[in-house]
Structure 1
Amino acid sequence: MSEPSIAARLAAHAVETTPAELTPEVTDTIGKVTLDWLGLVVGGEAIAGSTESVTAGMQALTGDTGSSNGATGDGRATVLPTGERVAPDRAALLNGTYAHSLDFDDTHRSSSSHPAAPVIAAAMAAAEATNSSASELTTAIAVGYDVACRMGEAVNPDGHYGRGFHITATCGTFGATAAAGRLWGVSVEELTSAFGINGSQVAGSLQFLENGAWNKRLHPGLAASRAIEAVSLAASGFRGSEKPIEGTHGFFAGYTDDPIPSILDDIQTGDAVLETALKPYPCCRYMHAAIDALIELATTHNIDPATVTAVSVDLPAAGVTLTGDPIDRKQRPQNFVDCQFSMPFAAALALSGRDVGLAAFREAQSTLDSPSRKELMDTVSVTTTDRTRSRFPEVWAAGVTIETETDSYERFTEYARGEPENPLTWDETVAKFEELATAAAIDRETQQAAITVCQELSNSDRETVTESLYGICR
């Protein structure tokens, strides 16, 4: 008998994992990342400039805006910020897009991906459409993270980025399909076929970096939507390609120069979600360790930004590609997306205000033409050295050096705030959720209900989840 394909092994993991295999630490973390995701969905929809166009575009395709009834297992799913009831692939697309629209969502560093946006979007839509239990939802999220993150590691982040692809979009499709397939109740063979369909779906170009386009925000939404489509087709008997991952013309062959398939040999349930970081700053995760270091140096030494003559930031090579190259463009961001991927902008914000949170980021958009801010951004250079390269992707470290008219200050940071080694607490996660939900005009009582459910997600009953999570519309 031939060896099972990678897709077949991933399918078996997704379908055969039981809720009992999830440790209390895993279920607690899934509740935390779900609350973080929920806040980003409603906050992203309310704040992001891309919301009107993506929402209108999807409404045009559905032909109506749905109704605002609660989840009933009728095959439909909820667009969370509005309460609209639509086909589950459309709900997954919108919720997944909103969750990534502020670039404020979780990060799995070894795969260089944002698993929550596609995985939880697909899982929430599939769970609602099939009237699944909270325990099954939690398990589906766990296996979705397992597949998305290990696929991201196996495709080799450097090689994948080098080909111009966005891992959250590509590997997120496989992870979202694992989560949706489990909830859809498909067999191992059917889910294997769904992964085969994924082989013709995975996409996500880094070309958005050229002009600050909104494509990146759409990527996890498309991944979640593709997952629902693939699972539905496979459950209906559609035959997907064999060996879509390791085959001659498969995912590895087309999307990387140096895959590491052995990473997929032994996937442990729940490990991936425990390795995932939550973001305190609404910008590219590669910048966060540097931001922490800059804020600490500026605060500790009371550095006057007007005296700064040079700022050198050392990041992993992929971080330089995304946030420091070409440097002249990164020193002159033109819009919100540009700012989210500009190390010079974040450095200027950290040095001038000691704050790179959501409110500070939004307020700074009105001062992009400020002469003093431009002067500060012009002092920033972004490079990579062996110090940061050698431990990537296991560690996303950053080194910073600040030169002033009179002194020089240095700081090397291994683990940014939010990483598993330096995690956000439940209180910090709740505070982030409340800021986002308040920006979305969600009332306090509704916010508290969602917080309470997420803190005990795996043990919640279906009706409470339906009322508190799917009912978090304004």
Structure 2
Amino acid sequence: MTPTQQLLDALPAFAPDRLPVAVLDQARTTLYDCLGAQLAATSREFPIMRLLERLVREVGGTPESSLVGSCLRTTAATAALANGALAYYCDIESHHPAANVHAIAVIGPAALAVGERQHASGVEVLAAIVAGVDIAARVSYALGPAAQYARGFHPTTVAGTLGSAVAAGLLLRLDNDSFRNALGLAGTSAGGLLSWVDDPTEQSRPLNIGLAAQAGVQAALLAATGFRGPADILGGKYPFGKAFTGQWDQHALLEGIGTRHEITRLFFKRNACCVFIPASLDALLDIMATESLSPQDIAKIAIRAPESSYQVIDNNPLRSHSVQYVLAVAAHQGHVTFADILTDRGADPDIDALAQKITITGDPGFDRQAHQSIGSTVHLTTSTGAVHHREVEHPLGSHRNPLSTQDLADKFTALTTGILTPDRAAQLRSTLDRLHTLPDINDLTRLLELG
């Protein structure tokens, strides 16, 4: 049995009637959070929506799937591209830290686009989301998240393409041979570089995610027509893993599949920034609140973070991924929104001065505590010489320190105020609450059509 066939044989575990209710509920919560991030990105305060609307108008195609926040419709593949870019644009959607993938930003848009096209039921879409997130995370495990970064690949785009193909393939009800072709075609389409760190417009970063959603959907649609792909994309003479990292761990791909659901291991963000920053942010704000400190009271901040990830956020030229910038902004206003990312608050001399006082170093101890840890330790020295210390292993929003239902609702409201009317927001929430009984996902997506 080939490695690809082993994966295909595991997919029946994601049938709606075989998934625990709690897992389907988690998929619904994750989708709700993702929709808030997408709707926030449609704000006319940002340029991305105007660009995506132009793309959809010019590409056109069969109006089978909708562009979130717009009355425009296009093909499922194009809708997946545009909506995937929206999902990751504000960097506020959930993240899978262990696999280092923004899984829902790829899988949610792909599943909704194909679900609309197929008039799939709500529970079918939820099950496809569970499967897609699972496979995206597991493919990243098999490749090695750190190994992907070391070669300049974006794990979300590489692994997410296969996850997107799985979600789309389930909704298209592909048979075994067609599904094998879909995975093969998705594998040959996968890619995505981390070069977006040099793009201060923050547009190529979310485009990576849209491309993964689009490629997976397109691969599944091609396979549905009879288009053929590599027979064993995970094995064979030129296997997937050899191309991207030179390694492949089939055990990591399949271990616990169907019983350990990766969608239950997500981190839900409260601030617009890279997932490796919130632990330091929580620690800093806690020290400032407990000790009644102002930004002017801070002489220096020394951070210890995982050896495997600290360099990603150390003075990264991209503000969303710079721990110095994010913490300096948060110290002054208590939070970080995407508007703070697009507009350089570092032009404020007080914020710039504090950013210069922040250093970060690697601590392999965090790597030993947990696979792909997102914890950190903060040592803050005040202008009087007092030193305050906080260690945060599981920042608020992680699956071991989760946000409450009310926290998530408040986040959605904050993201969508001015975009959704209160009545539309309430209607959307009500529809999501009964999504598992919805006969046609279009009853949900129609509520996302604005303008």
Which interval holds the TM-score relative to the shorter structure? over 0.9
Q: Partners of 2:7 and 2:180 in 1: how far apart?
A: 8
List per-residue Cα deviations over 1:205-234 (Å, max 9, x = no partner).
Answer: 001112335211111211111111101111
CA gap of 1:199–1:466, structure 2 versus 1, over 3 A, is closer
Aligned to 1:57: 55
Distance 1:130 1:167, change over 3 A: same
Note if contact 2:65-2:73 (Cα within 8 Å) is conserved in structure 1: yes
Computed over aligned residues only, the root mean square deviation of the Cα atoms, in angstroms, reads 2.0
Q: Distance in 2 between matches of 1:107 and 1:220?
A: 12
Matched, 1:467 2:443: yes
Percent of aligned pairs with the same residue? 23
Could you report, residue by residue, the CA deviation over 1:432-468 in whole angstroms, capped at 9, with x for unpaired residues? 11222224x2111111111122223212332xx4233
1:284-317 alpha-carbon deviations (Å, 9 max, x no partner):
0100111111110111111232232221112223
C-alpha distance after superposition, 1:209-268 (max 9, x if no partner): 123352111112111111111011111111111221234422210211443321123312
Letter paired with 2:162: F
Q: Aligned with 2:277: secondary structure?
A: helix
Alpha-carbon distance between aligned partners in 1 of 2:126 and 2:428, rounded to the nearest angstrom: 15
Alpha-carbon contact 2:13-2:19 (below 8 Å) kept:
no
Note if 1:8 corresponds to 2:11.
Answer: no
Residues 115-166 of structure 1, C-alpha deviations (whole Å, 9 max, x = no match)? 1111111110111101111121111111111111111111111111101011
In the aligned structure 2, how far is the partner of 1:15 from the partner of 1:219?
A: 29
Q: Displacement of 1:102 after TM fit?
A: 0.4
Counterpart Cα distance in 1 of 2:47 and 2:303: 30
Match of 1:193?
181
Q: What amino acid is aligned across from residue 285 of structure 1 in structure 2? A: V
Supply the AA of the counterpart residue of 2:399. Answer: P
Aligned to 2:222: 233
1:364, CA displacement in angstroms? Answer: 9.0
Question: In the alignment, is residue 362 of structure 1 matched against residue 340 of structure 2?
Answer: yes
Distance 2:438 2:259 in 1: 21
TM-score by length of 2: 0.94
Alignment of 1:445-456 (within 5 A): 445-456=423-434
Moved more, 310-319 or 424-433: 310-319
Q: Match of 2:123?
A: 135
In structure 2, C-alpha distance between the alignment counterparts of 1:133 and 1:57, rounded to whole Å = 29
Maintained 8 Å contact 1:199/1:250: no
TM-score by length of 1: 0.89
Q: Select between 296-305 and 122-131 the one with higher mean Cα deviation.
A: 296-305
In structure 1, the gaps of 5 or more residues are 68-75
Distance 1:11 1:215 in 2: 32
Determine the C-alpha separation between the residues in 2 that align with 1:223 and 1:363. 24
Task: Give the equivalent residue in structure 2 for 1:380.
Answer: 358
Q: How far has the Cα of 1:394 moved from its partner?
A: 4.7
Q: 1:304 to 1:434 in 2, by over 3 A?
A: closer
Deviation at 1:277, TM superposition (A): 1.6
Aligned residue pairs total 446
The change in CA–CA distance for 1:448 and 1:187 in structure 2 (over 3 A counts) is same
Which residue of structure 1 lines up, in the alignment, with residue 267 of structure 2?
A: 277
CA distance in 2, matches of 1:380, 1:428: 29
Equivalent residues of 2:67, 2:79 under 8 A apart: yes
Q: Deviations over 1:392-422 (max 9, x none)?
A: 4353211111112221111110111111111
Secondary structure in 2 matching 1:277:
coil
Candidates 342, 367, 376, aligned match of 2:322: 342
CA distance in 1, matches of 2:376, 2:330: 15
Q: Please give the alpha-carbon distance, in whole angstroms, between the structure 2 residues aligned to 1:140 and 1:206.
A: 27
Structure 2 CA distance for aligned equivalents of residues 191 and 16 of structure 1: 15
Kept in 1: contact 2:56–2:74 (CA 8 A): no
Distance 1:432 1:399 in 2: 26
Secondary structure of the structure 1 residue equivalent to 2:177: helix
Q: Distance in 2 between matches of 1:196 and 1:313?
A: 43
Partner of 1:70: none
How far is 1:352 from its partner?
Answer: 2.4
Q: Please, which runs of 5 or more residues in structure 2 have no aligned partner? A: none
Deviations 1:260-287 (A, max 9, x none): 3211233125611111121111110100
Corresponding position of 1:35: 32
Equivalent residue number for residue 71 of structure 1: none
